[in-house]
């Protein structure tokens, strides 16, 4: 499948602006971004539920702009499950096959396999109102699977579920997608879902593509400040700074020490930049450790969250509240002074005006 500069206009407002990407057969591709960024509209244009204002959609190398949803050989799972309340689970799952007049013996075989895969064989005679949220989602998933379409679209399918069930269903959907070998295009606002499920992800903001790539590439090498602060829990720590060029290039923080960063070349002296470091990149500098003093600095603890397996320590850098994530249980106290260290290779430097990552070449 290929999206070639597809856009969507509502009146005079462009809500999706020239989105382009190629989605490979059998790939789990995630569209992620905050509410209102255009991800669901993009999915609906792929489905044929929204008209493409400009640009071209190709499926299997064939133009699809004028092809109705029924001719695109895709299935779709919605946020609200879209089950028929008067039909049983069995009839909800088989509805599409019955409309297409698939042979009854074939319907039975597909139903049996899907019920076994999803563990819903004991629910087949129930109505949707008798099911929990997770069971309804499995039924909607089953209806998509029995269609045996090679492409499945999912629009925030887990957002109505509680956190524990969301985690379980994430694993379930990924397993099914890999087992069936189908191409899945999945919309979510939850960057944790995107990171854990995607082969590749597209980050959207205000209808514009910010970055496309493998989850760890996006996480480790964000294209810009928005992507950096959108991904990660807690998100990347950032603070405005000034770049100093010369014999020893680096960053000067307001009220903090000079940080030499020779790996960033071609930045002019006095350029406003934004320094970025992931919470896990900041570690305690303990006595006896041989750490270059240039890559550590003192902080005053502002808050501590001991989460059992890890501890979040808060402190200010410049005028920004930063968070460090440390393994284990650290009994720090508010007001305590500590030294934190970092690996300069994990530093991100962003243009102070455009937000572009100065070390990343984007697509």
CATH assignment of 235-287+294-351, among 3.30.465.10, 1.10.357.10, 2.30.140.10, 2.40.50.140: 2.40.50.140
Long-range Cβ contacts of 206-214 (<8 Å, 24+ apart): 206/36, 206/37, 206/38, 207/7, 207/8, 207/14, 207/15, 207/16, 207/17, 207/19, 207/37, 207/38, 207/41, 208/17, 209/19, 209/20, 209/21, 210/33, 211/362, 211/363, 212/21, 212/363, 213/363
Over the stretch 1-59, which tens digit does the pLDDT of each residue have? 999 999 999 988 999 999 999 999 999 999 999 999 999 999 999 999 999 999 999 99
Q: Where does the chain hold its CATH 3.40.50.300 domain(s)?
A: 2-226
Every domain of the chain with CATH number 2.40.50.140 lies at 235-287+294-351
- Give the pTM: 0.88
pLDDT per residue as tens digits for the range 140-180: 888 988 888 999 999 998 887 788 888 888 888 898 899 88
User: What pLDDT digit, counting tens, does each position of 51-101 carry?
Assistant: 999 999 999 999 999 999 989 999 998 877 788 999 999 999 999 899 888
Is 251 within 8 Å of 261 (Cβ atoms)?
yes
Nearest partner of 230 among 199, 203, 206, judged by Cα: 203
Q: Tens of pLDDT along 223-278?
A: 999 999 999 989 999 999 999 887 778 888 765 667 888 667 778 888 899 999 99
User: What superfamily in CATH does domain 2-226 come from?
Assistant: P-loop containing nucleotide triphosphate hydrolases (3.40.50.300)
pLDDT tens, 283-320?
Answer: 998 776 666 666 888 899 999 999 999 999 999 988 89
Please give the pLDDT value at position 309.
Answer: 94
CB 338 within 8 A of CB 274: no
Q: State whether residue 234 is helix, strand or coil.
A: coil
363 has a pLDDT exceeding 60: no
**Residue 117: pLDDT band by 50, 70, 90 thresholds?**
confident
For residue 343, the model assigns a pLDDT of 86
Among 42, 40, 58, residue whose Cα is nearest residue 2: 58
């Amino acid at each position: 499948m290929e999206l070639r500069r597809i856009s969507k206009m509502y009146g005079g407002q462009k809500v999706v602006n020239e989105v382009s990407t190629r989605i490979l057969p059998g790939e789990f591709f995630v569209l992620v971004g905050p509410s209102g960024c255009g991800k669901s509209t993009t999915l609906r244009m792929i489905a044929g539920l929204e008209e493409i204002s400009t640009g071209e959609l190709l499926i299997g190398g064939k133009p699809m702009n004028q092809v109705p949803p029924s001719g695109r050989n895709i299935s779709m799972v919605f946020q609200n499950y879209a089950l028929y309340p008067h039909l049983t689970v069995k009839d909800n799952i088989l509805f599409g096959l019955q409309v297409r007049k698939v042979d009854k013996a074939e319907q039975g075989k597909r139903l049996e396999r899907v019920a076994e895969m999803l563990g819903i064989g004991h629910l087949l005679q129930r109505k949707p109102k008798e099911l929990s949220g997770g069971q309804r989602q499995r039924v909607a998933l089953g209806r998509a699977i029995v269609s045996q379409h090679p492409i499945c679209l999912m629009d925030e399918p887990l957002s109505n579920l509680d956190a524990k069930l969301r985690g379980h269903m994430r694993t379930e959907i990924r397993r099914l997608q890999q087992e069936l070998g189908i191409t899945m295009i999945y919309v979510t606002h939850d960057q944790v879902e995107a990171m854990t499920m995607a082969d590749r992800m597209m980050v959207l903001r205000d209808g514009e593509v910010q970055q496309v790539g493998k989850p760890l590439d996006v996480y480790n090498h964000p294209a810009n400040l928005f992507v950096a602060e959108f991904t990660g829990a807690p998100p990347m720590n950032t603070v405005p700074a000034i770049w100093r060029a010369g014999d020893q290039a680096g960053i000067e923080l307001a009220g903090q020490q000079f940080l030499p960063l020779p790996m960033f070349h071609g930045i002019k002296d006095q350029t406003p930049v934004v320094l970025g470091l992931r919470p896990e990149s900041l570690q305690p500098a303990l006595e006896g450790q041989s750490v270059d003093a240039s890559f550590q600095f003192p902080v005053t603890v502002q808050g501590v969250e001991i989460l059992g397996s890890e501890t979040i320590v808060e402190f200010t850098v410049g005028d920004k509240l930063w968070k460090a994530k440390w393994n284990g249980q650290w009994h720090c106290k508010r007001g305590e002074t500590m030294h934190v260290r970092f690996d300069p290779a994990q530093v991100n430097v962003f243009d102070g005006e455009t937000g572009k990552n100065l070390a990343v070449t984007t697509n």
